[in-house]
Amino acid sequence: MNAAAASDAAMSDAAPSDAAFSDASGDAAAAASPSGEGLGTSAAHPPRLCLAIRTSLLCEFRDPSGVLQAFEVCNGQTTFGVLCSALSLMPGVEFPGHDPLAWFPRPSRFTFRGELYEVSIPHENIRVCPVDMGKSVIEMEELLEYVRHNVLRTRAARYTIR
């Protein structure tokens, strides 16, 4: 048995870690299954998201090659409406059929560079991801940077002592 296989065997015997709880379906028992059940996608279980970075502001979910699959703005950093409003001001983002004077429905869908995205609140955090959740899209980096600089920065600036 090579070192990687030994490491995988040791991990399957260990108690579930935080990574086991970072899946999109919330089914940690299936994710930790030594037989590998629950790792594929089916109609009952959406594709897993792998948590790559977690801070007090954001969570980033990336595929094994490092491409962003989704990001979440942590609870309390902004509201659903503020995030959607900020995204609607981003060049190239369109919320089809949205009345600018109305509230954003939950979940809300928008397009950016020909791809359909969704803003939702699956648990406590506000998630932005492609509608095809298992898909990794390079343009997600632009959305993430826009949110960092136009939503989170302005919120943090309110509490900065000058």
Q: In what order do the strands lie in the sheet with 68-73?
A: 51-54, 58-62, 68-73, 126-130, 115-120, 108-112, 93-94
pTM over 0.75: no
* 115 DSSP β-pair partners: 112
Q: What is the pLDDT of residue 134?
A: 73
87-100 pLDDT, tens digit per residue, is: 999 999 999 989 98
The segments of the chain whose pLDDT lies below 50 read: 1-42, 157, 160-162
Distance of CA 100 to the CA centre of its chain: 25
Q: What is the pLDDT of residue 78?
A: 94
Residue boundaries of the structural domains of the chain: 1-47, 49-162
> CB neighbours of 10 closer than 8 A, spacing ≥ 6?
none
Instruction: Report d(CA 61, CA 136) in Å as an integer.
Output: 10
